[in-house]
Chain A
C-alpha cells in the first residue's frame, strides 16, 4: 500500500480538539490518579499491622497471654460466684425445709395430743355411763 505525500500531510495536519479539551483531559488524569492509589493504600495498612506482629512476637505473645489470663480469671470468678450463689440458695432451701419439717413435727405432736385427749374423753364418758350410780356419775363428769 502506498501513501502519497498528500495523504500523509492530510493525516498529520493539526486538528481542533474541540471546546473543554483541557478540562476533560485533567478530569481523566485525576480519575486515573485516585483509582491507582486506592488499593495500594489498604494493602499498605494490612502490611503495617502484620509487620508489627512479625517484628514484635514477644509483645504479641504477651498481649495474647494477658487476654487469656483475663478471660481465665473472669471465668473462674464467675464460676465461683455461681457456685456460691447455688450454695446460698441450697442453704436457704434447706433452712426452709427444716422450718417446714419442724412446723409439721409440732403439728403432728399437737394432733396426737388432741387425739389422745379426745380418745380418753370419749372412753371416760363411756366408762362413766356404764356406772349405775347416777350421782357418782354426775360428780365425776
Chain B
C-alpha cells in the first residue's frame, strides 16, 4: 500500500466517523419539538407550566442531583434518568373552559412526529370526551433518543418532550414525592410559572 492509498484510506475513515457523529448529533437534536406555536395559549390558560431545560443549565441540574449522596431508591432512579438527558421541554396548559385550543395546535405538534423514526407506542382516544393521549418514541438503534407525551383533553393540553436516552420504565415508576415542596397528582394543579428562558 503506497502513501497515497494510505492517506486516502485515513481520509475516508475520518470522513465516515465525522458523518456518523454528525448524524447521531442531528438525531438527538431532531428529538426536540418546536412548541412555540403553543405560546399563544398562555393568554387563555388558567394555569400553565413552561419548562425549558437544556445545555449548561441541565448540566448544572444533573451535577447537583448527582452530588446528592442519598441511599434513597428514588434519588438513585432520578440520577439514572437525568444522567443521559439532553433536554427537557414541557408546555402544559389548563383551561377553565373547554375547547380553548384548536385542532391545528395539536396537528402542528403531530406533524413533527410523522418521520418514520418516531413511533407512536401508546394511543388512547376518547372521542366523546374529546381526549387524545399519545406517547411517541424516537429510536436511535436500540436506544431511545427522545420521548414525546401528548395529553390533549377538553380542558387541558400538555406536551412533554424529553430529549436524550430516556429510560421510560424508570420515568413511569418514579415516586411522587420527588418535587421539592410540591406534590403532583396524575392531574396536577400546576402553578402558573414559566421556565428559566422566560425569566
Contacts and interface: CB of A to CB of B under 8 A. Distances in A.
Contact of A105 (B64, B90, B124): B64
Could you say which of A101, A104, A121, A124 has the most chain B C-beta atoms within 10 Å of its C-beta? A104
A119 B171 contact: yes
A118 B134 CA distance: 10
Q: Which of B122, B134, B149 has most chain A Cβ within 10 Å?
A: B149
Majority secondary structure of chain A interface residues (helix, strand, loop or mixed): helix
A114 interface: yes
A8 interface: no
A105 B78 CA distance: 11
Contacts of B43: none
Interface residues of B, number: 50
Interface string B123-153: 1111000010111000000000001010100
A118 B151 contact: yes
A113 B176 contact: yes
A63 interface: no
B61 to A, nearest CB: 4
Contacts of B125: 129
B38 interface: no
Q: Is the interface of B mostly helix, strand, loop or mixed?
A: mixed
A87 interface: no
Interface string B15-48: 0000000000000000000000000000000000
B65 interface: yes
Contacts of A118: 149, 151, 158, 160
A119 to B, nearest CB: 5
Interface in B132-185: 133-135, 147, 149, 151, 158, 160, 162, 168, 171-172, 174, 176, 178-180, 182, 184-185
B151 A121 contact: yes
Contacts of B149: 115, 118-119, 122
B131 A125 contact: yes
Nearest to A97: B60
Interface of B: 49, 51, 53, 57-58, 60-65, 78, 81-82, 85, 88, 90, 92, 122-126, 131, 133-135, 147, 149, 151, 158, 160, 162, 168, 171-172, 174, 176, 178-180, 182, 184-188, 190, 195-196
24 contacts: A101-B61, A104-B196, A107-B88, A107-B195, A108-B85, A109-B179, A110-B182, A111-B51, A111-B53, A112-B78, A112-B82, A112-B174, A112-B178, A113-B182, A114-B49, A114-B51, A114-B190, A116-B172, A118-B149, A119-B135, A122-B134, A123-B172, A126-B133, A129-B125
Interface of A: 97, 100-126, 129
